[in-house]
Amino acid sequence: MTKKHISIISLTIIVMTILILGYIKSTAFMQQSAQTISSNLTQKLGLNIKIKAIEVKSINAVKLYDVVVYDKREKEIFNSETTTISFSILSLIKNPSFTESIAKVIIDNPKLKLQKNKEGQWNYLDLISEDKSGNEDFFGKVIVNDGMAEVDLPERKINLENINGSVNFSTIKDYDIDLSLSEASSNIEVRGNWGKKNSLKVTVDKGNIEDYIEFIPENSDFKMTSGQVSNINLNITKKNEEFYFAGMGEFNKVSATFKQYKLENITGYFIVEDNKMRVYS
């Protein structure tokens, strides 16, 4: 083969590569791919999923635009501006499973809407029901950038903002959590493992008691009504489907009641153990 033939073949390969890359980055391809993948995910998960467009970023990464997920009642539960998925090429070669080949998922500006239905079940359970996982597992790392969440409780609605951090999956049912977020005047950090250990450590720098009144463990004699809390450190564990809280924190400028007495401007600290609170002032 002459140098001229080699040059022609090389040029042809280059031109074809440019044409292919140009096509897969075209708007038509991105929209068609989005519709196909949305349809496949909808069938697999049993939930309505919409993706506006998909862009191929590299040989092992794709970027999804405007992803929206709906629960079984066709109410929006999740959306994100962009979601970038990176794959392990080695895993793809060894195992063609799409899910098990995902190495990293980066979600930008996600919004999550959590609420209970009439039967008392949380809508997020529609996303993680065991009957949808089949034989596939997930071993990737999910990174969240500047997320938000709305949590509808019977008592009130909680707005969580500035959610940043990661969830690192050993399996779909065992993952390490490292997240920071804010709620009202509080900065919150959540770290730990859920699945194998079922143990989380939650720290709150400060906050108003009025914002957390429904979460304060009951004490038959003592009840806080207003004031400030700070330096809260809580450990949350789950055993036999029951949640247990333990930890401590400080309070000041608190209004409270003790039996039939009203207390004002008190300062002290509290200890939570076995879901019961002891107060020292």
Q: What is the pLDDT of residues 38-84, one digit of tens each?
A: 565 555 556 788 888 888 787 788 888 998 988 888 889 999 999 99
Above 60 in pLDDT, residue 164? Answer: yes
Lowest mean pLDDT among 99-103, 190-194, 218-222: 218-222
Mean pLDDT confidence for 79-96:
83
Q: In this structure, are residues 95 and 74 in contact, taking their beta carbons and an 8 Å threshold?
A: no
**pLDDT category of residue 152 using cuts at 50, 70 and 90:** confident
Mean pLDDT confidence for 171-183:
92
Above 50 in pLDDT, residue 253? Answer: yes
Selected residue with higher pLDDT from 144 and 279:
144
pLDDT at 131: 52
Closest CA to 223 of 206, 205, 210: 210
**Secondary structure of the chain: what % helix, strand, coil (to 5)?**
20, 55, 25
Q: Is the dihedral of CA 243, 191, 187, 279 positive or negative?
A: positive
